[in-house]
C-alpha cells in the first residue's frame, strides 16, 4: 500500500499528463526529486501499460508521488474486480500484460486513488471540474455507477452523443465555472494544437491546464513543474 495518500505541502511538484502506456515517457517524467502528481489514465493504448503502471506504483509506494483516478484506470480496476465491462482491444491488451502480482498491486492502488485534490489555488482532477469539488471531499472508489460529481471528474462534461470517430462528445463549458485565481490541472481531453499543455482562461480569470498531449496515442507525454503548495498563496 502507498506510504502517502496526500500531497506534501513542502515539496516542489511535477504534474504529469495522461501516460496511456508510454513507459519511456513516464521514465523521463519521473527522473526528478519533485513530488509527482500524475493526472490519471496510466494504462491502455501505448506500448507498455504494465511497465508504466509498475513504474508509477513504485513511485507511489515510495511516498514520492500520487496519481489521480482516470477513466481508463477506473475501467481497469472494475475489470479486475470482476465487474462486467466492455473489453475493447486496449483494455484487453492491458489485462493480458499484467502478472497476478501486478494486477493485485494495481487494483489496490487504483481503488485508493483520489478522484480530485484541492490545493492552494489549484485543483487536480482527471477529466473535468465542478465548483462543488472545492468544498466536497474526494469520494471513495465507486461501488456501482459513479455519482454525477465523480462522473464529471472521470469523464469531463459529456453530451451523451458520440463524435464521427465514435468517441463520446465532450464539452469544455466547465472551464467557465472555475472561480477566479483557481487553476485546474487535468488530463483526459487532448485539445493541444502545438504539442504543449493547453491553458484556457475564463472571463472571471479561472484557468484550466489540459495536460494530455497524446502519450501512447501518437503524441508524447508532457509535464509541468510547480512550487510547493505552501509557497502558493491561498
- pLDDT tens column, 54-100: 999 999 999 999 999 999 999 999 999 999 998 899 999 999 999 99
Residue 103 has phi, psi (to 5 degrees) of -60, -40
The predicted structure's pLDDT at residue 6: 80
In a domain, 114, yes or no: yes
In a domain, 8, yes or no: no
The closest of 221, 181, 219 to 38, measured between CA atoms, is 221
Which residues have a Cβ under 8 Å from the Cβ of 215 and sit 6 or more positions away?
Answer: 17, 18, 19, 20, 22, 25, 46, 221, 222
And the C-alpha cell for 45?
493504448
Number of domains in the chain: 1
In a domain, 123, yes or no: yes
Calpha distance 157→159 (Å, rounded):
7
In a domain, 2, yes or no: no
Cα–chain-centroid distance for residue 4?
17
Q: Mean per-residue pLDDT for 189-217?
A: 94
Q: Using a cut of 0.85, tell me whether the model's pTM lies above it.
A: yes
pLDDT at 34 over 70: yes
State the DSSP code for 114.
-
Q: What is the largest CA-CA distance in the chain?
A: 49
Beta bridge partners of 118: 123
In a domain, 113, yes or no: yes
In a domain, 23, yes or no: yes
Q: How buried is residue 131: exposed, middle or buried, by Cβ count under 10 Å (0-12/13-18/19+)?
A: middle
In a domain, 98, yes or no: yes
The predicted structure's pLDDT at residue 234: 40
Which residues have a Cβ under 8 Å from the Cβ of 163 and sit 6 or more positions away?
Answer: 169
What Cα–Cα distance (Å) separates residue 225 from each residue in 30, 47, 52, 105, 234?
Answer: 12, 26, 20, 28, 19
Q: How buried is residue 228: exposed, middle or buried, by Cβ count under 10 Å (0-12/13-18/19+)?
A: middle
Q: Could you tell me where the beta strands, DSSP code E, fall in the chain?
A: 13-16, 35-38, 65-67, 116-119, 122-125, 157-162, 168-171, 183-186, 198-201, 207-210, 223-226
CATH of residue 183? 3.60.21.10
The closest of 154, 210, 148 to 178, measured between CA atoms, is 210
In a domain, 152, yes or no: yes
pLDDT digits (tens, 9 = 90+) for 115-129: 999 988 999 999 999
- Computed over every residue of the chain, the mean pLDDT equals 92
The predicted structure's pLDDT at residue 1: 34
pLDDT at 164 over 70: no
Domain that holds residue 151: 13-228
Report helix angle 89-97 to 49-61, nearest 10: 60
Amino acid at each position: 500500500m502507498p506510504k502517502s495518500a496526500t500531497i506534501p505541502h513542502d515539496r516542489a511538484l511535477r504534474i504529469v499528463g495522461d501516460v496511456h502506456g508510454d513507459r519511456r515517457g513516464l521514465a523521463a517524467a519521473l527522473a526528478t526529486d519533485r513530488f509527482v502528481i500524475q493526472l490519471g489514465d496510466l494504462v491502455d493504448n501505448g506500448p507498455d501499460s504494465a511497465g508504466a503502471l509498475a513504474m508509477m506504483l513504485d513511485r507511489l509506494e515510495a511516498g514520492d508521488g500520487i496519481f489521480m483516478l482516470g477513466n481508463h484506470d477506473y475501467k481497469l480496476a472494475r475489470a479486475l474486480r470482476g465487474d462486467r465491462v466492455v473489453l475493447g482491444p486496449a483494455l484487453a491488451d492491458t489485462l493480458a500484460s499484467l502478472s497476478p502480482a501486478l494486477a493485485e498491486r494495481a487494483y489496490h492502488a487504483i481503488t485508493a486513488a483520489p478522484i480530485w485534490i484541492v490545493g492552494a489555488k489549484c485543483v487536480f482532477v482527471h477529466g473535468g471540474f465542478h465548483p462543488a469539488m472545492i468544498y466536497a471531499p474526494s469520494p471513495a472508489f465507486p461501488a456501482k455507477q459513479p455519482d454525477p460529481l465523480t462522473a464529471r471528474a472521470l469523464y469531463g462534461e459529456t453530451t451523451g452523443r458520440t463524435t464521427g470517430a465514435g468517441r463520446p462528445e465532450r464539452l469544455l463549458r466547465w472551464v467557465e465555472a472555475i472561480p477566479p485565481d483557481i487553476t485546474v490541472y487535468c488530463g483526459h481531453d487532448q485539445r493541444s494544437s502545438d504539442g504543449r499543455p493547453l491553458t484556457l482562461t475564463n472571463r472571471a480569470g479561472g484557468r484550466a491546464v489540459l495536460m494530455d498531449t497524446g502519450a501512447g496515442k501518437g503524441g508524447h507525454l508532457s509535464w509541468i513543474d510547480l512550487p510547493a503548495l505552501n509557497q502558493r498563496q491561498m
